[in-house]
Structure 1
Amino acid sequence: MRIYVLLALVAAAVTYLTTPLARWLALRTGAITAVRDRDVHVTPIPRMGGVAMLLGMAVAIAFASRMPFLAGEFRTSTAWAILAGAAMVCLLGAADDIWELDWVTKLTGQLLAAGVMVWLGQVQLYALPIWGQTIPSSRMSLVVTVLIVVVAMNAVNFVDGLDGLAAGLIAIGGTAFFIYTYLLTADTGAESYANLATMMVAVLVGACIGFLPHNFHPARIFMGDSGSMLIGLTIAAAGIHVTGQVDAAAVTTRQQFPAFLPLLLPVAVLLLPLVDMGLAVVRRVGAGKSPFHPDRRHLHHRLLQLGHSHRRAVLIMYLWTALFAFGGAALVRWTTTQVLWAVGVGMVVALGLTLGPLRGRRAQGPPGGAGGAGGRPGNDGGPDGGDDGGHDDDGPVRGRLEVGVG
C-alpha cells in the first residue's frame, strides 16, 4: 500500500509543479478558452492542463519501473503501452486545444490511440469473469475494447463543465477503484499485492489531485481535451486490464459479482457523465436536432439553476460519484444487501443536499454553459468534445485571444 501511495504523491507533486508551465505554454500557443454569453467563467482561461498531468503520470510510472516491488509488472509492455496511448490522446487533445480540430479528426485520433494501446499492450477484454463468458473472436474483442476506451474518453470529456469537476470526479472514483483492486488482489490469493491496474489508478489519482489546486473554482487553468481524454483512457484501460487478470475458474459463487466489478466500477465512476450524455442525446434527437447540438440543460447547469453556487454544484456531483463508486467497491467486503442499504441511505442524504435548503435563490433562466475544468465550455457530444472540447455546431467563438504571458 505504501508504494502505491508514494507513486500517487510523486504524480501529484510533478503535476502540481508543472501545471504553471502548461499554463505558460497554453498562453504562448493561444490555447485560451474564450468567454461566451452562456459560459460560467467571466475571463479568458488557458487550457492544456492535461500536459502537466501526463508529465506527472510519466514520471511516476518511470519511478515505479525501478522499484523491485513492481518489477514483475514491467516484464511485459502493458504499462508502457497504456502510457503511449495516454500520450497520444494528450497530444491530440493539446492540438485540439490550440487549433480546434474537427470531430472526424478527433475520433480518428482516439481510435488510433486506443488501438495502439490495445495492440502493443494486450490491454484487451477477452472474457467476463462470471459464468465463463468469453468474447467469440479476437477481432470482436479488439473492437469491443477500443469502443469501451473511446466511450470512456468522451464521457469524461463530456462532463468536464465546471471548475474542478472532471479532475475531482476521477480522483474520488479512482480512489474507490484503487481500494477495490487492491482488496480484490488480496482476496484472490495472489502471492504479491503488486498489480498493474492498481498502480495505474494510483498514478492517475495522484495526477488529478496535483492538478486540482490550480483548477478548483476559481480555476487558473482548465485541463482541456488533453486532460479529459487522458484520464478517460487511463481509467478505462485499468478496468479492462484488471478484469482480464481475474481467473474465472478460481472465482467462487460469492465472489462472482465482485469479480465482475472491475469492468463495472469505471462505469460507476463515469455514471454521471454517461447519464448526462445519454439524456442529452435523447433530448436533442427527440427535438429533431443533432446529438452534438449545444444546449444549457446538462446536470451541472440544472444544479446552478436550482440555486447552487459553482462550488456547491461541484461538491454535490462529487458526493454522488463517491456514493456510487465506493458503494461498488464495498462489494468486495460486504454483502450485496448491506451495500444496497448503505447506498440507499446515502442517496436519501445526497438527494436532500441536492434539493434541500442549502440552495440559494433559484436562478432566473438557464445558467451559462460549462466554464469548467476542461477547456472550451458549452459544447457537447462524442469525439467533438463535450463541455470542454471541440467547437460548437452553430459557429464557435474561437478561443485564441491576445492575452499577455508576462
Structure 2
Amino acid sequence: MREYLLVLFCTAAVTYLLTGPVRKFAILAGAMPPVRARDVHREPTPRLGGIAMFGGLCAGLLVASQLHNLAKVFQNDSSDIRALLSGVGIMWVLGVLDDKWGVDALVKLGGQMIAAGVMVYQGITVISLPVPGVGPVALSPTLGMVITVALVVVMVNAVNFIDGLDGLAGGMVCIAAMAFFLYSYRLWYGYQISEAAPAVLFSALLIGMCLGFLPHNLHPARIFMGDSGSMMLGLMLAVAAVSVTGRVDPDLITAQTGGSQTTTTHILVPIYIPLLLPLAVIALPLADLLLAVVRRTWAGRSPFAADKQHLHHRLLEIGHSHSRAVLIMYFWAALIAFGTVAFSVTNTGRTVVLACAGFCLVGLVALLLPWFKPKAPAGVQSFVPPRYRRGGTARRGAAVTVEAVETPRGAQPAPAVSELSAADRDILRGSGATALGSRSGDRP
C-alpha cells in the first residue's frame, strides 16, 4: 500500500506543479475559446489541462518502475503498460488538437476507436467473462475486441459529457477510481490474484492525476482540462476495468473461501455481470450520456449536437448553486460506486442496502433544497441570510429576480432582468452585472 500511495502522491504533485505553467502556455497558444451560449463560465478560460495530467501520468509510471513490488507489474505485465501509453498518447494528441483548433465529432469518434484498437492489438482486451456456476467463458478474439472497443468509447464519451461544471469530471472520475482501486487491491492482496495488479496501479495513477488537477479546476476554475484531459481520464478508467475483467478466475477465490460457491458468487458480484463495477462507478455519467443520445435523437438532431439539458444543467436550473450542484453529483457518484464495492465485501447485503437507502434519503433532501425555504422566527431574522427572512426574496429555478426598490411617485419601476431587451442584456453582460450562458464538454 505504501508504494501505491507514493506513486499516487508523486503523480498528484507533478500534475499540480505542471498545471500552472500549462495554463500560461494555453493562454499564449490561444487555447481560450470564447464563451458560448451553453457555457456557465463568465469569461474565456484556458484549456489544455490534459497536458499537465499526461505529465503526471508519465512521472507516476517512472516512479512505479523503480519501486521493488511495483516493478514486478512492469516485468510481468509490461504489455499492459505499453498498451496504456499507446492508447493514452493517441487520445491525448487528439484532445490537444481539439482544444486548440477544434476537431469534428466524427473524427474524434474515429480517433477514439483507433486508440482502443491499438490497445486491443497490444493485449488489453476482454478474454473471458466469469459466469456464476460455470466459470470463465472464453470469448472469441472478435467478440472480445468489440466489447473492449465499445467499453472504451462509452467510457471516454461518458466522462466527456459530464465535463460541464468546474471540477465535476475530475472529481467524479477520482471517486470512481478510488472505488475501483479498493476493489482491485482486495482482489490482488486479499486473494493473491496477480492479474488484478495492473488495475490497482492504473487506478492509483488516475487518482493522483485528478487530485493534482482539481485545486486548479474547482469553482471558479482557472483552467479547464479540455478534451485532452477528459478523454484521457475516460480511457484510463476503461483500461483499468478491462485489465481485471476476464482475467480473474472465480475458481481461485472458491478455493480460498472453503469451496463455497455461494460465498464466491457474493464476493464476485461486481465482475460476474460483465463490467458491472466499471459501469456502476460511472453510473451518473453513463445515464447522462444515454439520456442525451435519446433526447437529441428524439428531437431529430444529431446525438453529437450539444445542448443545455445535462444533469448538471438541470441542477442549476432548479436553483442549486454551482458548487452545490457539483457536490450533489459527487454524493450520488460516491454512493453508487462505494455501495457496489461494499456489497461485494460484506457478508450480508442487507446492511449495505439499508445504509444506501438512508444515504439516498439524505441525497433527496439535498436535491430538493431549492424548493425548501424555511423562514426563521422573527426574533432571529437579523442573524440569518435574507432568503430565510419572512418576506425576503429568493431565487427559484433559472429566473432572476430583483429586490424591490423605492421609486418616485408616478415613475415606472425598473424592469426585471428577464424583461430587458436583448441589447440591454448584452450591455449588462459586458459590464459583469449578469452572467448568461453555460459550458458543457459534451462533445465526444
| Alpha carbons 1:8, 1:205 under 8 Å: kept | yes
Please give the alpha-carbon distance, in whole angstroms, between the structure 1 residues aligned to 2:280 and 2:89. 25
Point out the more displaced range, 239-248 or 216-225: 239-248
Aligned residue number for residue 124 of structure 1: 125
Deviation at 1:351, TM superposition (A): 1.1
Could you say if the C-alpha distance between residues 98 and 139 of structure 1 is closer, same or farther in structure 2, counting changes exceeding 3 Å?
A: same
Uncovered stretches (5+) of structure 2, i.e. residues with no partner: 255-260, 374-393, 401-434
Deviation at 1:179, TM superposition (A): 1.1
Cα deviation digits, residues 121-172 of structure 1 (max 9, x gap): x111111223335354111111110111111001100111000000000111
Please give the alpha-carbon distance, in whole angstroms, between the structure 2 residues aligned to 1:186 and 1:72. 14
Please give the alpha-carbon distance, in whole angstroms, between the structure 2 residues aligned to 1:42 and 1:270. 28
Pick one of 304, 310, 313 that aligns with 1:301.
313
Aligned residue number for residue 347 of structure 1: 360
Pick one of 369, 376, 384 that aligns with 1:356.
369
Deviation at 1:83, TM superposition (A): 2.1
- Residues 4-403 of structure 1: matches in 2 within 5 Å? 4-75=4-75, 76-120=78-122, 122-131=123-132, 132=135, 134-190=137-193, 195-252=197-254, 253=261, 254-261=263-270, 263-334=275-346, 335-356=348-369, 361-364=395-398, 370-371=438-439, 377=440, 380=442, 384-385=443-444
Please give the alpha-carbon distance, in whole angstroms, between the structure 2 residues aligned to 1:156 and 1:135. 30
Could you say if the C-alpha distance between residues 246 and 112 of structure 1 is closer, same or farther in structure 2, counting changes exceeding 3 Å?
A: same
More relative contact order, 1 or 2 (CA 8 Å, 6+ apart): 1
Please give the alpha-carbon distance, in whole angstroms, between the structure 2 residues aligned to 1:368 and 1:342. 40
| Alpha carbons 2:38, 2:307 under 8 Å: kept | no
| Aligned amino acid, residue 315 of structure 1 | L
Uncovered stretches (5+) of structure 1, i.e. residues with no partner: 372-376, 386-406
| Alpha carbons 1:40, 1:369 under 8 Å: kept | yes
Please give the alpha-carbon distance, in whole angstroms, between the structure 1 residues aligned to 2:198 and 2:301. 43
Please give the alpha-carbon distance, in whole angstroms, between the structure 1 residues aligned to 2:166 and 2:30. 20
| Aligned amino acid, residue 3 of structure 2 | I
Aligned residue number for residue 401 of structure 1: none
3-state SS in 2 of match to 1:69: coil
| Alpha carbons 2:32, 2:44 under 8 Å: kept | yes
Could you say if the C-alpha distance between residues 370 and 117 of structure 1 is closer, same or farther in structure 2, counting changes exceeding 3 Å?
A: farther
Please give the alpha-carbon distance, in whole angstroms, between the structure 2 residues aligned to 1:33 and 1:338. 49
Please give the alpha-carbon distance, in whole angstroms, between the structure 1 residues aligned to 2:111 and 2:220. 31
| Aligned amino acid, residue 317 of structure 2 | Q
Please give the alpha-carbon distance, in whole angstroms, between the structure 2 residues aligned to 1:250 and 1:107. 39
3-state SS in 1 of match to 2:246: helix
3-state SS in 2 of match to 1:128: strand
Please give the alpha-carbon distance, in whole angstroms, between the structure 2 residues aligned to 1:241 and 1:193. 8
Could you say if the C-alpha distance between residues 248 and 295 of structure 1 is closer, same or farther in structure 2, counting changes exceeding 3 Å?
A: same
Please give the alpha-carbon distance, in whole angstroms, between the structure 2 residues aligned to 1:368 and 1:177. 38
Normalising by structure 1, we get a TM-score of 0.87
How many pairs were matched up?
374
Please give the alpha-carbon distance, in whole angstroms, between the structure 2 residues aligned to 1:45 and 1:354. 29
3-state SS in 1 of match to 2:69: helix
Please give the alpha-carbon distance, in whole angstroms, between the structure 2 residues aligned to 1:292 and 1:109. 15
Please give the alpha-carbon distance, in whole angstroms, between the structure 1 residues aligned to 2:315 and 2:196. 41
3-state SS in 2 of match to 1:46: coil
Deviation at 1:243, TM superposition (A): 1.7
| Aligned amino acid, residue 362 of structure 2 | V
Deviation at 1:369, TM superposition (A): 5.5
Normalising by structure 2, we get a TM-score of 0.80
| Aligned amino acid, residue 180 of structure 1 | Y
Could you say if the C-alpha distance between residues 292 and 67 of structure 1 is closer, same or farther in structure 2, counting changes exceeding 3 Å?
A: same
Larger radius of gyration: 2
Aligned residue number for residue 397 of structure 1: none
3-state SS in 1 of match to 2:130: coil
Please give the alpha-carbon distance, in whole angstroms, between the structure 1 residues aligned to 2:106 and 2:296. 20
Please give the alpha-carbon distance, in whole angstroms, between the structure 2 residues aligned to 1:365 and 1:151. 35
| Aligned amino acid, residue 283 of structure 2 | L
Cα deviation digits, residues 286-344 of structure 1 (max 9, x gap): 22222223322111111111111101100110000010011011123213332222211
Please give the alpha-carbon distance, in whole angstroms, between the structure 2 residues aligned to 1:71 and 1:37. 49
Please give the alpha-carbon distance, in whole angstroms, between the structure 2 residues aligned to 1:324 and 1:74. 32
Please give the alpha-carbon distance, in whole angstroms, between the structure 2 residues aligned to 1:39 and 1:150. 24
Could you say if the C-alpha distance between residues 147 and 135 of structure 1 is closer, same or farther in structure 2, counting changes exceeding 3 Å?
A: farther
| Alpha carbons 1:172, 1:321 under 8 Å: kept | yes
Cα RMSD after superposing both structures: 2.1
Cα deviation digits, residues 326-373 of structure 1 (max 9, x gap): 1011123213332222211111111111113678622335996543xx
Please give the alpha-carbon distance, in whole angstroms, between the structure 1 residues aligned to 2:29 and 2:128. 45
